[in-house]
Structure formats: C-alpha cells, structure tokens
Amino acid sequence: MSVTELEFQAQRVESAPEEAIQGRSQWQLTWARLRHDKMAIASIVVILIMTALAILAPVFASLLGHGVYQAFTGKGLSADGLPVAPGAHGFPLGTDYVGRDLLIRILYGARISLFVGITTTALATIAGVAVGLVAGFYGGWVDTVLARFIDAVLAFPFIVLALALAAIYGSSLLIVIGVITFFSWAGISRIVRGQTLSIKEKEYIEAARSLGAGPWRIMFIDILPNLLGPVLVLATLYIPTAIVFEATLSFLGIGIPAPTASWGVILSEAQQFYQTSWWYVVFPAAALLITTLAFNLLGDGIRDAMDPRTERLFAGSTKRRKRRASAPTGPDAAPPAAATAGMGG
Amino acid sequence: MSETLPRDAAAAAIRDPEFEDDVLVRVENLVKHFPIKAGGLISRTVGHVQAVDGVSLTIGRGQTIGLVGETGCGKSTLARCIAGLLPVTSGRVTFEGKNITNLSRRAMRPYRREIQMIFQDPYGSLNPRRRVGAIIGDPFTIHRTATGSERKRAVQELMERVGLNPEHYNRFPAEFSGGQRQRIGVARALALRPKLIICDEPVSALDVSIQAQVLNLLSDLQDDFGLSYLFIAHDLSVVKHVSDAVMVMYLGRTAEQGPGDQVYATPRHPYTVALLSAAPAADPDSAAARQRIILTGDVPSPINPPSGCRFHPRCPKAQELCTQQEPALESKAGDPQDHRTACHFPVEAGENLATAGGRSPR
C-alpha cells in the first residue's frame, strides 16, 4: 500500500462530518458500526486466534513433544533425507529440512511476526505522531527541517540500509525492529503533520489560545484527540506492512538470524524444497497471508466504520471484492487462491 | 512578538498617565501588517497585507461598541490584536491603564481572565472530540481556579445561566443545535468572569429567530455581570440593537465612529450611508421611501490599498483631493466631538447620494 493511498484514506476519515447520536463518543459509534461489518469481525477473530496460537506455542510444543529447535533426524526425515509429509510420524504439518516440526516452527514464527509487527508499529506511531504534531503545530523552520527529514527518510532505500547494518553488526531482532521502525514512522508523521496543519487553523484552537492554553496543552488536549481516528486506521494498516517487512528481511537473510523460527526464515529455507515438499512453502506462506490479510481488512473496516457516510458498507459486496483484490500479499505468497477463498465471509 | 516592547508583566504594569477610571480598553493607533513571504527555505518578505492600519478605539466600562464593515476590512484582526491572539505591528493596547501590547504568553495570562472571546462559527469554535463539560471547564482547568466536583458544579451553574440543560454536561458538541452551541461558547467565555467579551460576529451564523435569543442572553449577562462588549458584525441592524457606540471600518482604517444614535441618524461618511442603505428595514413603508446605494466593485486589495482616502475608487462623491490626501478622522459639520468621520466631503443630512455624480470604479 503506497503512502499516497494511505494519505487519501486518512483524509477521508478526517473530512467526515460528526454524527449526532445521543451521548455516544466517536469510539462508541465506530464500534457500533464495526460490529455490523462481518469482514472486520472475522478479521478480529482471525487475529485473536493467531495471537492465542502464538502465545500457546510452548503448550503445543510440549503436547506434541517436539521442541522448536529439536531436529528429528530419524523419523522426521524420509529415507532420501527429505522432509516428511503432513500427518506422517506424528507431524501434523510435516517437517522441515532438518526434521523439525513445521507446525511448531510456524507457531513460534507467529510470535516473532506479531511481536515485530506490533512493537514496530507502536514505536513508529509514537515517533510519527510526535514529530508530525510538533512539525505541523510549530510550523516555520521547525517544520521545514522536520518535513525535509521525513522526505529524506521516505526516499531512503531501506533494503540497502538493512543490508549495511546486517553486514556491520550481524543480523538480530533488535536491528530488524530498528530498521522497520525507522522506515515506518515517516509515513505516519507526514499524515499527522498534514492533519495538524489543518486542525490548528480551527476556531476551537484559537478559543483555547484565548483562554491562555499553552502549546503542549493545545497539542495534546485539543489536537491529538482529533488525530486518533486517522492514526488508528494507519496503525492497523502498518502492522501487516511491518510483518511483511520482517518476513522480507528474514527471507533475504538479513533479518532474524537462522535458527530462530520466523516465517521469513522458514520460507527462505523452503526455497530449495518447494518441488518435493509443498507443505514446507504453503503453510508458512498461508500463515503470513492470513495474518496480513486480516489486519488489512480490519484496517479497512475501522476506516469505513469511522466514516459516518458509509451506509453502503452493509449492502455492497463489490467493494469487498475490490478490497480483496488490492490486499497486499507476502513477498513470496505462492498459493494465495486457496487461502483467500477460505477467508470469504 | 516585538522585541522593542516590554515582555514582562512588571514593566507592562506601569500606569498610563491618561488613565481614566471609566475606560476599560484603549486602543491607540493600532497597526497590524501581515508579511507576505516568498521563496522556499530562505523566505523573504515581498509585501504586507495591511489588515489594520492605524485604528484607535476606546471601550468604556459596561459599554458595547459595535464594529462594522465588509468582510476583509480588518475588524476580526483588530479584535484578535486586542485579545492578544495576534502580535501587533505597532500601536498600543491598554487594559485598565496597563499596557498589554505584545505581552508574552505568561505575562498575558492574568489579562486572559479579563478579556474573552465569543467566536463566529458555533461549529468550528467547539472541539468536536471533547465533551461539553470539558469545554466549558477548560477555563477553570487552565487557570486552576476550580477542580474536581467544584469545577463540575461551576460548569453546571454556567450552563444553567446561559440557558442550557446542566444534565447535558457529558454530551458532545455535535448533539447541540447552532444556537445551543453558541450558548456553550458564551458559557466558556463567561467562566472566568471577564470584564470584556469580544464577540466576533456571534450571531451571523445563526437563524434569525435564534439570533434574538442569543442577543437577549448577551444583554442580560451584560446587566448581571457589568460586562463590556466589543461587538463585531456586518449586520447593521444587529449592531444598532446592541451598541452604545459604533465604529465603521473600511480596508483597515476607521471610516466613521460615534455614538450609535448619532451615526445612525446622521451618517457622514458615504460608506456608512451606503452600508445603512443596504440594511433591510422591517417597516415596508420606510423601506420603500429609502434610496439604496449600491456600491460597485470589490473591496480593493489590502496589500496595495488605494492612495489618499481608501474608499475613493468606490465613492460616489470622490474628487481629485480624495485620491491624493488622506482625510483625518475628526468631527464634521457641527457633529459632537465624539462623532468623527474620515472624509473630505462628508454627507449632509438629506443629501441624495444615489444621484450624485459618481465616478466609475477603477
């Protein structure tokens, strides 16, 4: 999803007229609308299930008696030394190239993906809101410097930086989180800056100033609540981007270092086996696809729910088809058709 | 903020020798120019919007001053300069004899309690994401005058005073009508018990029936709290209804000022006459008897205002002198001292401007 597209979406949220319904806040209204969006609810359920599976990964590991790093060179590999198929020898989703349980690997991979996705998005949102708010509110040279810095970050080739950092410091989780955060905050910042520029000209800001409110009070009490809507939508849409980002880095070998289970790492290892062992590619790719798709659909749902004009949300199915077509996939999403069909609602 | 003017309250508190007890606010020769910047990173000033250009004004205690003029004549800018929301280019604003021109935010703080504003747009002036109780309670929070349940009680008292249901404390602005929202704005302005309330076109966004309610509320509050108002409007009939004195602005300058009945009965400036002739009259007989003067052309650009009298390109009475020499603001044609007009050829009573040999615009 490109930055301009996100900007467009954020604007739509902002320009929405406020609705007048008895005593309910914006959030209550949003939830009331979101509740009727089957797609968004399905996405929330999928995300919750994925989170639960990730948290319970050690439980599954002890139930099956298969550790995440435990290689079953005997029963886990076929006579030719290839991974065994799903169901064989007590491996529900088969094994990987050294005979480790693929299901356990994927569940542990979900921990990394969700952790990286949520942490980097949280950090990027805090940084992006802070920088955008200060730039937009103070204007002048502060804005000029910060806005140019944002442009510079957005123009930077992130793979090159990640490669350079991995080459110097070796790949690690910390570098992955740092790189993803560094390349995510700028997009949020730019949108927050734009919104702040428009909000600070509103009469209620002048009213606050005429009461003697200081700059911090105006930024955090008067402007910030008006930004939370667009920022929430953006953040929801940044989580899948960050998950894909992590998978990309790991796939290229500059992300999470090898023995650790990560979807990108598993897919990277599976490259040589896709002709003989389909499950080795399909299951991690499906996990990646389902998770990112759920977050994207939820983000779309929240955006629609915040827009009081979206009555068509409950009627039309054309929009959903369009959305599904434009939903981003992983860098290597080999079997999208099957997974998407399973998501239909 | 200007560097040449005192920044701290101590220096600002020096008493004005001309201090008079019944004067609340005195504005002297106030100028506000907005620089026009060009260029990107290193910007330079290529011109100035002369929004307010040498305006003087006195607001007495308990008085209502009506400020009228077309859109873009600088009346809102003048109001914001008085309220300390915009830095002043030059000139002086004194409040109860103390110079409050270009004070820092901290030094201005005590005066914020004395000077409050009511805004034009009842929709734009209330934060849509905050509850009404929080909006009206803001003045108490910012000035730390009341907290917790004490603040809630104060807010509910205010809501009751301005005719709102105090039980609507937890509602959002979107759940109120335009007139109710303006009452919320009035309650917020009233919270700190100010001495002056600047009303920036407080009723122009409202329904006519609601306008009267809000105007009556403002006048009741004036009686109860001894408030002074600076009342900005472009509707002369509204201003006539509320004002003790009237000031007519045109393109950043004062065209005419004086006691309300004087200005309405014997307007001297052709611009005032034109404005008055455009105001609708309730009585159809008098409306038919009136001659309407329709001004041609638009208000000239305040970046490059006309020479001499700024009204001359649109004035039906303009002569050579008007294009060269700026008229002084003084009492004309036997008017009392406090009725002053900036015009070389003031209008006489009974004069028919509609047929006067006017110049074509531009």
Query: What integer is the mean pLDDT of A224-242?
Result: 89
The two tokens of residue B190 are 């009233």
Domain boundary among B205, B228, B243: B243
**Mean pLDDT calculated for residue range B103-125:** 89
Tell me if chain B has a CB within 8 Å of the CB of A209: yes
Residue B119 in any domain: the answer is no
Residues B326 and B309 in one domain: yes
Average pLDDT over residues B67-90: 89
Residue B138 to residue A225, Cβ atoms within 8 A: no
Residues of chain B in contact with residue A216, where contact means CB-CB under 8 angstroms, are none
Q: Specify the higher pLDDT residue, A78 or B11.
A: A78
Residues B201 and B79 in one domain: yes
**Residue B258 counted as domain residue:** no
pLDDT at A85: 77
Question: What pLDDT does residue B361 have?
Answer: 41
Domain range enclosing B182? 128-188
Distance from CA of A216 to the nearest CA of B (A): 12
| B85 and A CB contact within 8 Å | yes
Is B249 among the domain residues? Answer: no
Decide if B109 and A209 are in contact by the 8 Å CB cutoff. Answer: no
Probe site for chain B from A21, A195, A204, A232 (most B CB atoms < 10 A):
A204
| pLDDT tens profile B289-307 | 666 777 777 778 888 888 8
B45 forms beta bridges with B37
User: What is the DSSP secondary structure assignment for residue A316, as one 8-state letter?
Assistant: -
Residue A20 touches partner B, C-beta closer than 8 Å: yes
Tokens of B344: 């070389």
Same domain, B15 and B108: yes
User: Which CATH number fits the domain that encloses residue B40?
Assistant: 3.40.50.300
Residue A12's Cβ-count burial label (10 Å; 0-12, 13-18, 19+) is: middle
Report yes or no on B24 lying in a domain: yes
Q: How many CB pairs under 8 A join A and B?
A: 75
B contact test, residue of A15, A30, A203 with most B CBs within 10 A: A203
Specify the pTM: 0.76
Reply yes or no on whether the pLDDT at A7 is more than 80: no
Q: Are residues B282 and B338 in the same domain?
A: yes
The pLDDT confidence band at residue B6, using thresholds 50, 70 and 90, is very low
Based on the fold, state whether residues B221 and B179 are members of the same structural domain.
no
Mutant choice from B41, B103, B138 vs A, greatest count of A C-beta within 10 A: B138
Same domain, B165 and B80: no
Tell me: do B37 and B180 sit in the same domain: no
Question: Tens digits of per-residue pLDDT, B27-37?
Answer: 999 999 998 88
**Do B301 and B231 share a domain, yes or no?**
no
Is B294 inside a domain boundary? yes
Instruction: Give, in order, the Cα–Cα distances in Å from B233 to each of A250, B92, B214, B229, B294.
Output: 66, 23, 14, 12, 19
Give B-chain residues touching A26 at CB under 8 angstroms. 129
For residue A197, the domain's CATH number is 1.10.3720.10
> Per-residue pLDDT tens for B165-193?
988 888 888 888 888 999 999 999 999 99
CA distance B168 to chain A (A): 9
CA distance A8 to chain B (A): 22
Nearest to A211 among B41, B121, B138 (CB): B138
The span from the CA of B92 to the CA of B84, in Å, is 11
Tally of structural domains, chain B = 3
Asked whether residue B232 falls in the same domain as residue B137, the answer is: no
Question: Are B157 and B232 members of one domain?
Answer: no
Question: What's the number of domains chain A is made of?
Answer: 1
Residues B178 and B202 in one domain: no
Q: Do B130 and A20 touch (CB under 8 A)?
A: no
pLDDT tens by residue, A307-336: 755 544 444 444 444 555 554 444 444 443
**Set of chain B residues whose Cβ sits within 8 Å of the Cβ of A207:** 117, 119, 125-126, 185, 188
Verify that B202 and B98 share a domain, yes or no: yes
- Does residue B123 form part of some domain? no
Domain assignment present for residue B262? The answer is: no
In angstroms, rounded to a whole number, what is the distance separating the alpha carbons of residues A209 and B123?
Answer: 17
- Going by their DSSP bridges, the two strands B64-68 and B245-250 should be labelled as parallel
Q: Which of A279-288, A326-335, B84-93, B146-155 has the lowest mean pLDDT?
A: A326-335
Alpha-carbon span B249 to B337, nearest angstrom: 19
Q: Does residue B114 belong to the interface with chain A, where contact is any CB pair within 8 Å? A: no
